[in-house]
Amino acid sequence: MKSHTKSTDLFRRGRAVLPDGVSSPMRSFSQVGGTPICAASAKGATITDVDGNVYIDFLNAFGALILGHAREEVVEAVARQASMGMVYGLSTALEYELAEKIVASTPSIEKIRFVCSGTEAVMTAARIARSHTGRSLLLKFGGAYHGHSDALLASPSNLGANGARTKGSTQGIAESLNREVLLCEYNDEEQLAALFSAHGDRIAAVLVEPFATNMGFVKPQPGFHRLIRELCDRHGALFIFDEVVTGFRFHFGGVCNSLGIDPDLVTFGKIIGGGAPIGAYAGKTQFMQHVAVGKKVFQSGTFAANPLTMAAGNAALDVLSRPGFYGELEEKGAWLEAAITSQFAARRIPYHVSRHGALAGVAFRDSREPMKSYRDVKTQDYEVFKKVHARMLERGFLMPPSLEEPIFISAAHSRDDLTSFADALAESIQLFTTGRTALGGRPATLS
């Protein structure tokens, strides 16, 4: 058994000064149980905890690290910049360079602004949409996560009316804001059309994750985004693509490029900071102009476009733009998918694996069908995942501590890493599901 005494001691100490001992909830492992681990260092595909245990990392900082940990080019760029000043309160050439790269990568966008988190990016994009349209309703999808701003965490007013469920909920948001959000089931075209019929002239924007990555991994059905685009056009609403996870993950630029969708505003985060805190909102000049000085929308930030992040982001994007980079990631994704699929077949595990590029998700339910909505996601066996997560840790694999996160592959993973992960995953699932019958028998208990 791996020892976790130092992590345990640190968390005991941490809990005295931080609620749950964490600064972001999932780090407490509250969704999987067991002892949360404290990180000590990381390099490439591996992360080492304070007890000296080494894990192959499939969390990758919730997808922020597509190059793996401490990639040389990024480390050097950050070190160089740190010695020249951490933050100036002034604009920099590095910021223009990163902006040029991102704008050039994605035809749908003409201008961009940098902030420090995905939360700020989506919050500001929604503010622009409300200002531009003079309307206040935001339409989002069940199982989506768009950061923790009040506007996007508000509990949709039509909850319960249509059976769709929101992800997470919180107190402390003005009741009036709850009436300004509508919820639709992901991939449910009929419900979407009905919501537009009923509220179309009051909808400021539709926000969507092009691939849903905050409820495991759920792909859009063919035509889903095109329908959103059409409805937004017909009713005068803006279409916001939240690409905080998908941006630069499958190819160089927003996934709107390969999906053939032309959103009005696009939000980025995670990958584009090279591992440093970042968010960005971007789009057509006519919308982005709202934040120009003296115009209608205000946004600022002491650390916005800070030089350390800009240095890291530029260095990372330079690596991503090398020929063959995404081809290799695609091969790794395909390799992992094939390995998991064949392991599941060999062990007669009736689970489905979904994958696009280097992003994957296993549906923990007895079905060969891919999940399409948050309703499907909630039919999974969360108890089996908890046990699997703990066993995978013991075997040296760090999975995201939630069934509602995808598996993140990075450029640092080797084929061996992927094969051994697939092997351990299938073995663990089999261990905790044998003895069950297809007719709904109870899961075997962990001894």
d(CA 129, CA 231): 15
**42 contacts 14 by C-beta, under 8 angstroms:** no
Return the DSSP state at 44.
B
Q: How far is the CB of 444 from ligand PLP (least distance, A)?
A: 34
- What are the residues facing 57 on neighbouring strands? 398
Scan residues 216-235 and list those touching ligand PLP (CB under 6 A). Answer: none
Q: Cα–Cα distances in Å, from 245 out to 107, 178, 437?
A: 19, 25, 37
Q: Is 145 a catalytic residue?
A: yes
Site for ligand PLP contains 215 (CB under 6 A): no
Site for ligand PLP contains 273 (CB under 6 A): no
Residue nearest to ligand PLP (CB): 118
- Of 189, 234, 235, 236, nearest to 208 (Cα)? 189
Scan residues 407-446 and list those touching ligand PLP (CB under 6 A). Answer: none
Could you give the string, one character per residue 44-63, with x where binding to ligand PLP holds by CB under 6 A and - elsewhere?
Answer: --------------------
Q: Which residues contact 196 (CB under 8 A, 6 or more apart)?
A: 203, 231, 234, 235
* Marked catalytic residue, from 51, 57, 101, 145: 145
Nearer to ligand PLP, 203 or 271 (CB): 271
- Of 126, 231, 104, nearest to 180 (Cα)? 126
* Marked catalytic residue, from 242, 264, 381, 417: 242
Q: How far is the CB of 31 from ligand PLP (least distance, A)?
A: 16
Q: SS3 of 5, please?
A: helix
Q: Which residue of 145, 281, 385, 421 would you call a contact of ligand PLP, by CB under 6 A?
A: 145
Q: Which residues contact 437 (CB under 8 A, 6 or more apart)?
A: none
Site for ligand PLP contains 263 (CB under 6 A): no
Amino acid at 189: E
Q: How far is the CB of 358 from ligand PLP (least distance, A)?
A: 16
Q: How far is the CB of 137 from ligand PLP (least distance, A)?
A: 19
Choices 74-82, 239-247, 350-358, 398-406 (CB under 6 A): range interacting with ligand PLP: 239-247
394 CB-contact burial (10 Å; exposed 0-12 / middle 13-18 / buried 19+)? middle
Site for ligand PLP contains 143 (CB under 6 A): no
**358 contacts 410 by C-beta, under 8 angstroms:** yes
Site for ligand PLP contains 356 (CB under 6 A): no
Q: How far is the CB of 276 from ligand PLP (least distance, A)?
A: 11
d(CA 14, CA 295): 44
Site for ligand PLP contains 136 (CB under 6 A): no
Site for ligand PLP contains 275 (CB under 6 A): no
Nearer to ligand PLP, 105 or 124 (CB): 124
Site for ligand PLP contains 118 (CB under 6 A): yes
Site for ligand PLP contains 186 (CB under 6 A): no
Choices 143-151, 170-178, 183-191, 357-365 (CB under 6 A): range interacting with ligand PLP: 143-151
- What are the residues facing 269 on neighbouring strands? 279
**106 contacts 221 by C-beta, under 8 angstroms:** no
- What are the residues facing 137 on neighbouring strands? 203
Site for ligand PLP contains 402 (CB under 6 A): no
E strand map for 185-287 = 203-208, 238-242, 265-269, 279-283
Q: How far is the CB of 277 from ligand PLP (least distance, A)?
A: 7
Q: How far is the CB of 257 from ligand PLP (least distance, A)?
A: 17
- Of 151, 152, 153, 147, nearest to 119 (Cα)? 147
Choices 100-108, 141-149, 221-229, 324-332 (CB under 6 A): range interacting with ligand PLP: 141-149
**422 contacts 341 by C-beta, under 8 angstroms:** no
Q: Report the interface residues with ligand PLP, using CB under 6 A.
A: 117-119, 122, 145-147, 209, 213-214, 242, 244-245, 269, 279
Which residues carry out catalysis? 145, 242, 270
